[in-house]
Amino acid sequence: MDRTQLIETAQAIVTNGKGILAADESTSTIGKRFSLIGTESSEDKRAEYRGLLFTTEGMEEFISGVIMFDETLRQSTLNGGKLFSKLLLDKGVLPGIKVDTGAKPLAGHEGEKVTEGLDGLRERLEEYYELGARFAKWRAVITIGDGIPTRACLESNAHALARYAALCQETGIVPIVEPEVLMDGKHALDRCFEETEETLTIVFHELFKQGVMLEGMILKPNMVISALDCSEQASVEEVAEATVECFLRVVPSAVPGICFLSGGQSDLVATQHLNAMNSMKDALPWKLSFSYGRALQTAALNAWGGKSENIPEAQKAFYHRAQCNGAAAFGQYSNEMENQV
């Protein structure tokens, strides 16, 4: 383990005013997104779409890293033929890679899942490092419901996250640790707070047991938020206050940064929440930034519509959302920025 390299990489990911573009949708997931805009999901079309994001002029002003799917890490720009990883590195953006193989039903625990992918991970990480990846991502999903999450689910997922993180650091790759308490359901903000606090407590306990260096990792969690079908939706300020309070309780100050996922939030609300958190306190122990997928891509995807002639308009939409979230990472976003497209 090269401690200095890991620390420098982790700190680069959470450089002031920058965050992560999560472009790691699987082939099936991106296929579903393409179907909504009437576009066939061929390898060339997927490369064209990812390429338009990565080649957006100035995106590196707000994007410090890009999480990619295995196929994407191996792809090149269609015209210039430059590997995406090399293209990003030349722009000063770190290439990342999704390494888990998905959440599967947890045996004996109906309605709960555990993420798989540890078998052969050491060898895959070594190959990904050679391909240019400098950080990785592993997502665990935690469902809130009647009698769940159980302790068994939380401990199983936390153990897998910690083993993954240890293997990453052994290879010189910064692990993005992503325990996501899902927004699905009818639960209120308080229940999300309780389950997020317990989830993170168990995750950090496992990270400690597995010898993971906290200074060389990034946390990618959910915000403390009302469920999608909750009858009372918490305000932006309530979400920000609850999230910061929860994380101050359980996230060690040694962690350099927290890059929130957007989950089921809209583009606008995800930006507002991040901005509100960064506007709250002058001296939080970690950087608060973003690792957004749909909240950065939806406008660009719709503007592109699968047509090459629409690439400039799609890049304009992507740049705008990146710019807004970059400002939110400083606590300097305003709703007026939405009119400056």
Each residue's pLDDT tens digit, 131-142: 999 999 999 999
Helix (H) or strand (E) holding 324: helix 311-328
Residue 121 · residue 164 · CB < 8 Å: yes
Please identify which of the residues 48, 178, 180, 195 carries the catalytic annotation: 178
Residue boundaries of the structural domains of the chain: 3-330
Percent of the residues in the chain that have a pLDDT greater than 70, as a whole number? 99
- Tokens matching residue 316: 């304009």
Q: How much is the pLDDT for 341?
A: 63
Q: How much is the pLDDT for 333?
A: 96
- Tokens matching residue 35: 């179907």
Please identify which of the residues 18, 98, 113, 220 carries the catalytic annotation: 220
Helix (H) or strand (E) holding 103: strand 103-105
Handedness of CA 145, 151, 152, 156 (dihedral sign): positive
Residue 87 has phi, psi (to 5 degrees) of -55, -45
Residue 225 · residue 234 · CB < 8 Å: yes
Sort strands 103-105 and 113-115 into parallel, antiparallel or unpaired.
antiparallel
Nearest-5° Cα angle at 211, 15 to 136 = 45
Residue 163 · residue 118 · CB < 8 Å: yes
Q: Is 178 labeled as catalytic in the residue annotation? A: yes
Q: How much is the pLDDT for 208?
A: 98
pLDDT band of residue 235 (cuts 50, 70, 90) is very high
- Tokens matching residue 281: 């306190």
Count Cβ atoms below 10 Å from residue 35 Cβ, excluding itself: 11
Residue 328 · residue 271 · CB < 8 Å: yes
The half-sphere exposure of 279 on its side-chain side, counting CA atoms within 13 A, is 17
pLDDT at 250 > cutoff 80: yes
Q: Is 113 labeled as catalytic in the residue annotation? A: no
Distance of alpha carbon 303 from alpha carbon 234, whole angstroms: 31
168-223 per-position pLDDT tens digit: 999 999 999 999 999 999 999 999 999 999 999 999 999 999 999 999 999 999 99
Nearest to 274 by CA among 338, 225, 329, 323: 329
Nearest-5° Cα angle at 65, 59 to 69 = 110
Q: How much is the pLDDT for 275?
A: 97
Q: How much is the pLDDT for 192?
A: 98
pLDDT band of residue 339 (cuts 50, 70, 90) is confident
pLDDT at 163 > cutoff 90: yes
pLDDT band of residue 280 (cuts 50, 70, 90) is confident
CATH number assigned to the domain covering 3-330? 3.20.20.70
Q: How much is the pLDDT for 147?
A: 95
Q: How much is the pLDDT for 78?
A: 78
Residue 41 · residue 35 · CB < 8 Å: yes
Q: How much is the pLDDT for 160?
A: 98
Distance of alpha carbon 65 from alpha carbon 29, whole angstroms: 21
**132: phi > 0 → left, psi -120 to 50 → alpha, else beta; which?**
left
